[in-house]
Each structure stands twice: as C-alpha cells, then as structure tokens.
C-alpha cells in the first residue's frame, strides 16, 4: 500500500502525551504481550481495508517497546481549498489506485514500568482510543493462549473443571492510565458516566487524631482514598475533586471511573508537563515520506519519543505506586 497524506493543516501542532500500561496477572505480562504482537506479520489485506492497525517492536531498543498506530481511512476523494483571482475555490481530487488516506501515531513505553509517550495530533487516533485498542488486543492475546491450551487437550478430556482451570491460569487484564495535570481533571472526569474512587498522596501530612500524633515524626507521606456510591452525580464530583486537588496542592493521585460505554477509565495525577513536547505537523511529517511500515521503528519520531522519556526519567523509568 502506498500511503497518501495531504498536508493541508495550517499550523497544526503534534503533542506528546503521557500514559501507563499495567498488567494485573500472575501468568501474563506486558513483555510477553509485546513479544506476541511484535511477532505477528503485517496484514497487507487489513492495510488495504479501512482499519486501525497496531505495530509493535519489542527488540529494537533495550529499555523501551516502540509502536505505531496506523488509521486507514475509507475515502476515495479529498478536498483542497485554492485561492486566486479574488475568490476561494474547492477542488475535489480522487486518490490514485491502490492508495489510501491515513493517519499515524507513534508511541513508546518503558519495559520495566509500562509508562510511555504517545504522539497525537488533531483528528488522529486519540489517546483514549489508543488505550482501548491495546486493551482489546491484549484480551485477544489472552484468549489465543487459552485456546492454544484447550487445543492441546484430547476432545474427551475437556471437562468443565479443566477448562475453568485453564482460564483461571490466564486470568488477568491490561489496564491503562492517562497521565494528567491537576488543571485538566475537571474537564476529563466530567466526560465519564461514573466516578468510582479518588485516591491521593500528601507528602507533608498533618495528623489531627490524638491517637496518631506519636507517629507524626516518622510519617513519610499519607495516602487517602474515597469510594463513591453507584449513581453519584459525576459533575459535582468532578468539581469537588478538582477543587480539593487545588486546595491541598495534591501532585500524586488516581481517579477511577467508567465511561459511557461502561469501560474502566483511570486518570493518574502527576506533577508533570501538560505535554512532553510539541512541534508543527508540517515541519516534521515530510520526514516520514516513503517510510516502510515494516521498518517503522527506524522513523525519527521513535528516537524523539525515547529522548523525551529519558529527559523525564523520574516519571517514565521510576515504578509508580499502584
């Protein structure tokens, strides 16, 4: 497939956004998942269809998994705006045969911590969609392992207890978090359908209860957690949580909830930049011309993402508390 990209977006900015993956399982890991996806060959047919493709490489860098999302669009024509002779004209062009419009998003995440950076620009795959896509692919990976174990069993030996034991062995899921600044909390939480809990850590706590005052000189930090009732209104909670974070100066915290589709969402509060880098789309996109998607890991974006992670090693290379 020859990718065709019209660079008609004036001054569009590309931002680097923070995220974190975590696999909760005894027998599944982020590394094994990355290795499995990396080993899968490129599906040329899928690239011709209108699909969102996930590329991953677990070997090109010793400390980071690197990846790319390609969104193939079902579009045969595109529009251009042409100015001249005192008027503005819309020109409609058809794509060449065997050509598709596409959007691209590169990402990297640390092998030890699961924390990484995602390259995003307007109308490309959002960080939320990226998280859902990777979580879905992880579920497919888990199911493939379960099915492989079942296929090894003789047909007459596939009892319910053995099938249950096999599924229990591969029990687990991939969770993802968006790294955000406190200023963004109210806006992001307000989009949810439900807020489940709010957990935060204070580095310089004050001990008010008399029974705990003898411990005060030895306390390093204080962690608190609030769990909210099912059906609690989201908007007031979003306002209250945001106000509390601002008033207490909270720089480490975690909010859990669900979106309108019933999917789990997690926001991780960090005293981090709103984004970890920003550049003009047109200035850099041309460097991807003739990029072979089977060699995506050699793109300049990958090196830039890893450098940005290295520059903020205290965030990306230091394990976070659950």
- For 180-238, the pLDDT digits (tens) are 877 888 988 999 999 999 998 876 666 666 666 777 777 777 788 999 999 999 999 99
Q: Is 114 left (phi over 0), alpha (psi -120 to 50) or beta?
A: left
**Neighbour-count burial of 314, counting CB atoms closer than 10 A to its CB (0-12 exposed, 13-18 middle, 19+ buried):** exposed
Distance CA 121, CA 268 (A): 21
**Which of these, 6, 305, 303, 33, lies nearest to 176 by C-alpha position?**
33
pLDDT at residue number 274? 62
**Which of these, 163, 171, 108, lies nearest to 138 by C-alpha position?**
171
pLDDT at residue number 19? 94
Dump pLDDT digits (tens) for 39-56. Answer: 987 665 555 555 888 999
Q: Is 63 left (phi over 0), alpha (psi -120 to 50) or beta?
A: alpha
Listed by start position, the domains of the chain span 2-175+274-316, 182-269
pLDDT at residue number 31? 96
pLDDT at residue number 279? 79
Whether the CB-CB separation of 93 and 78 falls below 8 Å is answered with yes
Average pLDDT over residues 284-292: 78
Distance CA 183, CA 192 (A): 17
Whether the CB-CB separation of 2 and 98 falls below 8 Å is answered with yes
Distance CA 57, CA 65 (A): 6
Residue 174 pLDDT exceeds 90: yes
Report DSSP state, residue 2.
E
Least confident of 88-92, 229-233, 242-246: 88-92
Kindly report the pTM of this predicted structure: 0.78
Partners of residue 119 on adjacent β-strands: 16
Least confident of 113-127, 140-154, 250-264, 281-295: 281-295
Residue 65 pLDDT exceeds 90: yes
User: Percentage of the chain surpassing pLDDT 70?
Assistant: 87
Structure tokens at 128: 């939320």
Q: Which of 10-19, 41-50, 115-124 has the highest mean pLDDT?
A: 115-124
């Amino acid at each position: 497939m020859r990718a065709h990209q019209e660079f008609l977006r004036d001054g569009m900015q590309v931002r680097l956004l923070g995220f974190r993956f975590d696999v909760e399982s005894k027998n599944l890991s982020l590394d094994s998942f990355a290795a499995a996806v990396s080993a899968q060959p490129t599906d040329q047919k899928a690239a011709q269809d209108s699909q969102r493709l996930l590329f991953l490489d677990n070997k090109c860098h010793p400390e980071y998994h690197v990846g790319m999302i390609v969104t193939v669009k079902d579009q045969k024509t595109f529009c251009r705006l042409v100015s001249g002779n005192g008027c503005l004209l819309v020109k409609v062009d058809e794509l060449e045969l065997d050509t598709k419009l596409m959007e691209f998003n590169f990402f990297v995440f640390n092998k030890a911590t699961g924390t990484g950076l995602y390259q995003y620009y307007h109308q490309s795959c959002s960080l939320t969609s990226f998280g859902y896509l990777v979580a879905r692919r992880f579920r497919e990976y888990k199911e493939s392992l379960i099915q492989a174990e079942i296929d090894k069993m003789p047909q007459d030996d596939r009892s319910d207890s053995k099938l249950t034991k096999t599924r229990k062995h591969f029990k687990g899921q991939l969770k993802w978090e968006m790294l955000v600044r406190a200023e963004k909390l109210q806006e992001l939480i307000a989009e949810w359908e439900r807020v489940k809990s709010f957990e935060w850590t204070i580095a310089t706590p004050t001990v008010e209860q008399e029974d705990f005052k003898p411990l005060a000189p030895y306390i390093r930090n204080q962690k608190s957690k609030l769990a909210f009732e099912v059906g609690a209104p989201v908007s007031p909670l979003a306002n209250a949580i945001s106000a509390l974070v601002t008033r207490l100066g909270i720089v480490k915290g975690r909010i859990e909830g669900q979106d309108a589709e019933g999917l789990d969402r997690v926001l991780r509060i960090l005293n981090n930049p709103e984004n970890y880098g920003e550049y003009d789309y047109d200035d850099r996109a041309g460097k991807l011309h003739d990029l072979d998607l089977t060699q995506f890991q050699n793109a300049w974006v990958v090196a830039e993402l890893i450098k940005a992670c290295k520059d903020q090693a205290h965030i990306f290379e230091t394990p976070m508390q659950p």
